[in-house]
Amino acid sequence: MRKLADVVARLLSINFERSWRLGEISQDWRKGNVTPIFEKGKKVMEQLILETISRRMEDKEVIRSSQHGFTKGRSCLTNLITFHVEMNGLVDEGSAVDIVYLAFRKAFDTVSKDPYRQAVEVWAG
């Protein structure tokens, strides 16, 4: 199986990309008995999809350098540290600093998902 890993990964990637693009799952996959395969604590297909999407987003420069959440090597903590450093720098320069905090509780639970899905479909092209 290890010798065929690259071939199998490529074939699975093609099938998943097709499903993603068309927004449907093939009949064979619906009938099949699919069992998640764990490798180092993660599902193989989940990792393949994540890597493909991440690579595509990096190539298209979709994610800004200021993005911290859901970004490899960055977190809420790195966001807070960056914010703190930048604000302290402005204060040290004598600049006026206004900070506004907004809490959008469950904002995405009430937002229609269709525009986001359409945007992803256009982007995935």
Please tell me the predicted confidence (pLDDT) of residue 87: 92
Domain ranges of the chain: 1-62, 65-125
Please tell me the predicted confidence (pLDDT) of residue 113: 66
List the pLDDT tens digit at each of the 125 positions of the chain.
667 778 888 888 888 888 878 878 777 777 776 666 666 666 777 777 778 887 887 777 777 878 887 777 888 889 889 999 999 999 999 999 998 887 776 666 666 667 777 777 777 76
Indicate the SS3 state at residue 50. helix
Cα–Cα distance measured from residue 118 to residue 41, given in angstroms and rounded to the nearest whole number: 32
Cα–Cα distance measured from residue 21 to residue 124, given in angstroms and rounded to the nearest whole number: 7
Please tell me the predicted confidence (pLDDT) of residue 111: 62
